[in-house]
Amino acid sequence: MPGKVWLVGAGPGDPELLTVKAVRVLRSADVVVADRLAPRCVETLLRRDVKLVDVGKRRGHHPVPQGEINSLLVQHALAGSEVVRLKGGDPYVFGRGHEEQQACEAAGVPVEVVPGVSSALAVPSLAGIPVTHRGLSRGVTVVTGHDGVDDPTLASGDRTLVVLMGVSLLRKTCETLLGAGLDPATPAAVVEQGSLPGQRTTVGSVADIADLAATRGVRAPAVVVIGAVAALARPDGA
């Protein structure tokens, strides 16, 4: 009999933001295949004999290709193991979770999704930024910044733009939005290490946020927020 694969969202980093179901599944796992952004302190929840496989990725460095990750999940499950695929945030928000689900189903492996707290919404909240707010923002768009933001329709004055994995191309993103007509004074914020002890927020405008981030040495993981609500960010230490 095959085991089972659980696609578990680990949230933005603080292990206290794991769901009750995620904790239960982790405690019963035989194998945990973990992303770089999944909180390492979950190791205290695991059985002593669990097999922990690190398949972490970062921009330009993917030591374990996605196809190999899919194969690992299937192989361990077919061997009878209870397998947790632990992913930062939510498995279905730029996490390639559905690709892994399809691979498991194609191999006849039972698979279940355990949603997680997405950093796209949680990290701005932890920095005091509501992604929607009466009179300021009537909607929110979440995009990946890996390849830059090149859609000029995102330059809307009454919506919030949240960019995940967007630090390395932050300057290009801002230039694109300004070129599409976004007011240079539009507030912008970058929240690093959201939910972790090192959380830090850099606040400026679309015109200067890239310079401010460079001066402060902003690094991933970080969430970029562009729109009127970004001005509501709490100062660091508040």
- Ordered by where they begin, the domains of the chain are 4-114 (3.40.1010.10), 119-232 (3.30.950.10)
Whole-model pTM: value is 0.92
Point out the catalytic residue in the list 51, 57, 172, 208: 57
Point out the catalytic residue in the list 14, 35, 87, 90: 35
Return the closest-CA partner of residue 124 out of 89, 168, 154: 89
Residue 90 among the catalytic residues: no
Cis peptide before 221 (omega within 30 of 0): yes
Confidence (pLDDT) at 61: 52
In whole angstroms, what is the distance from residue 12 CA to residue 89 CA?
A: 5
CA atoms within 13 A on the CB side of 75: 8
Residue 35 among the catalytic residues: yes
Location of structure tokens 């009537």: 138
Percent of the chain with pLDDT over 70: 94
pLDDT in tens, 151-166: 767 867 789 999 999 9
Local confidence band at 58 (pLDDT 50, 70, 90 cut-offs): low
Average pLDDT over residues 86-114: 96
By residue count, the chain amounts to 238
Identify which has the larger pLDDT, 38 or 59.
38
- The residues, any chain, with a CB within 8 Å of residue 64's CB and separated by 6 or more, are 55, 57, 72
Contact 88, 79 (CB under 8 A): no
Return the closest-CA partner of residue 57 out of 94, 99, 5: 94
Point out the catalytic residue in the list 4, 87, 90, 165: 165
Residue 165 among the catalytic residues: yes
- The residues, any chain, with a CB within 8 Å of residue 163's CB and separated by 6 or more, are 143, 144, 145, 149, 170, 173, 223, 224, 225, 226
In whole angstroms, what is the distance from residue 139 CA to residue 130 CA?
A: 11
